[in-house]
Amino acid sequence: MLPVAVPTARAWSTADPYATALRTGRGPLFLGRSDGWLLPLDVERWCAEPDAADRSVLDACHGPTLDIGCGPGRLVTALAARGLPALGIDVSPEAVRRTRAAGGTALLRSVFDPVPREGRWQTALLIDGNIGIGGDPVALLTRVRGLLHPHGRLITEAAPCGIADDLDEHSVVRLHDGTSAHGVTFPWARVGPSALRRHAATAGWVGEAAWSVEGRRFVQLRGCHFSARPADI
């Protein structure tokens, strides 16, 4: 595991508020900084059936798909229902348990650990803010390139509509239940679409498509030396 990922994995895997939120299907749950800033985490949506925005992501998936930070597994199980081989990985035992209970396939694993089928996945997903894993989008995007088939695609979610396109925020946070913080601190990142494309270019990706549904924004990427030319997105 790369050093940058260690605090993040430890925080999510040992945080009782996160496990409790997944078991109950509801928050409140936040990422909180020491200055009092709180980022709400949409636990209820994660634990619900895929919505219209999720379905737009599912429609873009082709072939064996790896969902990185799968949470309770709504996308993994939906892909399986569509007949696509899908694997979720997550550092939370409760997330893996819930995914399996819903009929999905999931492993207790960090993206920076060895992953089955490395170099052969056709699609990878970084949804629900998971571009923030490790607090270093370039390191994360570089790692994901190694997981995908050379012609594979990555679909990632940027900061939502209403947030600046060039947002490029790197913070040290803890999980927060709305009353108090819990667990160890860990690095996290939030990026708007233009910052995401900039980091992607550094990591060897180009944009193929971008879209927004119900206030959520997505960018589809492909390794640059396998694309004819960057898409105008």
Tens digit of each residue's pLDDT (9 = 90 or more) over 191-222 = 999 999 999 999 999 999 999 999 999 999 99
Q: How far apart are CA 37 and CA 95, in angstroms?
A: 25
The answer to whether 111 touches 148, Cβ cutoff 8 Å, is no
Tell me the pLDDT of the chain averaged across its residues. 92
- For 64-96, write each residue's pLDDT tens digit: 999 999 999 999 999 999 999 999 999 999 999
Distance CA 4, CA 14 (A): 17
pLDDT at 16: 82
- Where are the strands (E) in 8-115, listed by range? 30-32, 38-40, 65-68, 86-90, 106-108
Rounded to the nearest 10 degrees, how much is the dihedral formed by the CA atoms of 192, 197, 199, 201?
180
pLDDT-derived band at 231 (thresholds 50, 70, 90) equals: very low
Q: Is 49's pLDDT higher than 70?
A: yes
CB 97 within 8 A of CB 124: no
* Calpha distance 193→218 (Å, rounded): 8
Confirm if 99 and 90 have CB atoms less than 8 A apart.
yes
- Percent of all residues in the chain with a pLDDT value above 70, rounded to a whole number: 90
Distance of CA 155 to the CA centre of its chain: 9
> How many CB atoms are closer than 10 A to CB 102?
16
How far is residue 173 from each of residues 37, 148, 167, measured CA to CA in Å? 9, 29, 17
CATH topology of domain 50-168+188-226: Rossmann fold (3.40.50)
Kindly state the DSSP code that residue 160 receives in the 8-state scheme: P
Name the token pair of 137. Answer: 């989008």
Q: Is the pLDDT at 3 greater than 90, yes or no?
A: no
Q: Is 70 exceeded by the pLDDT of residue 6? A: no
Residue 52, number of CB atoms within 10 A of its CB: 9
Q: What distances in angstroms separate CA 168 from CA 35, 54, 199, one per listed residue? A: 18, 24, 10
Residue 150 has pLDDT above 80, yes or no: yes
Query: What confidence score (pLDDT) does residue 4 get?
Result: 52
